[in-house]
Amino acid sequence: MSEHPASTPDEAAPARRSPLLDVEGAVEADPPDSGVAAHYGELTVEQRRLERGEGFVDLSHRDVLTVTGPDRLTWLHSLTTQHLESLPPGLPTEVLVLTPQGRIEHAFEGIDDGTTFWAHTEPGAGAVLVTFLDRMRFMMRVEVADVSDTHAVLGRVEPGADGTPGRSVWAIEPRADVASWPERHGRPAGTWAWEALRIAAGTPRLGLDTDDRTIPNEVGLLERAVHLDKGCYRGQETVARVHNLGRPPRRLTLLHLDGSADRLPAPGSPVERADAPGQAVGVLGSRGLHHELGPIGLALLKRSVPTDATLVVDGVAAAQELVVDPDVGLHVRPRSGG
């Protein structure tokens, strides 16, 4: 991948160390997730518990910000891809800020409580996002603040009905309460379990599964984080044109990696066609070990790569499962039973 956009994680940023790293069996995650546990010694068990809706994931390393003031939703609506001006209290949403060329510059998830819009973003990305938003206030009655030192993110999974995939949910709580989360929310799971479920769902993560050229159409974020019927916003022309043509220049795909290999390919590894070695057709982003699917990953591929082509990543063979359709307007992978 090429140079990351402005609000991607800063691996040099100092990590906030979670008190849950003192829980027996906790092993700290690598950047960009350092500061919290990758696992607590039971990776497969932790994933299964999460899918059943049991326990939680410590995401207290993520950055948290607030937007207050009577103009907050109208103002955010005007700056972002999401329809926010009439967002009801308590409804979580995903939001993007694009460059004039339609490339993803900032990404965050948020919820409004009636007086404050609470949001969280990648670790190390909050300060840049707050600076950008603060610069865009002009005469609007809004205030933007980085509250990462006083508030923290907790993740959970709501099980799906009739065997359908569960839905990842989150909450923002006072950072002083993190140590008591196991008493109130059950046994913790690590970021490896959370990430494996995210990858299996085909959900991209900014800075890991994107680069500085990524547009929302390429990574399955239309309708999810982009409201296709709202008014003008920066980058809208590119998003609308590619959506109407139905042919994004690249496409996110879920890779099922060869389970007989004794390792996972390194993130950022070139992806090649098995029948054309040495010719990169994409790049690997996130990868993980899923308790049912085995080794999996997300990759950005050239749109022209046949969907049935066998691929090779860092010497490991991989089969494809569509996340983004390469040809026509189905930009999000259909879910079985949905």
pLDDT along the chain (338 residues), means of 10: 44 74 96 97 94 96 98 96 96 97 97 98 97 92 97 95 83 98 97 97 96 95 91 90 87 96 94 93 97 97 95 96 78 43
What integer pLDDT is reported at residue 134 of this predicted model? 95
- C-beta of residue 188 within 8 angstroms of C-beta of residue 39: no
- C-beta of residue 153 within 8 angstroms of C-beta of residue 323: no
Q: Give the number of other CB atoms < 10 A from CB of residue 269.
A: 21
What integer pLDDT is reported at residue 329 of this predicted model? 55
The H or E element that residue 61 is part of is none
Query: Which candidate, 74, 62, 2, places its Cα nearest to that of 32?
Result: 62
What integer pLDDT is reported at residue 257 of this predicted model? 97
Side-chain-facing half-sphere of 246: CA atoms under 13 Å: 5
The amino acid sitting at 57 is V
What integer pLDDT is reported at residue 21 of this predicted model? 98
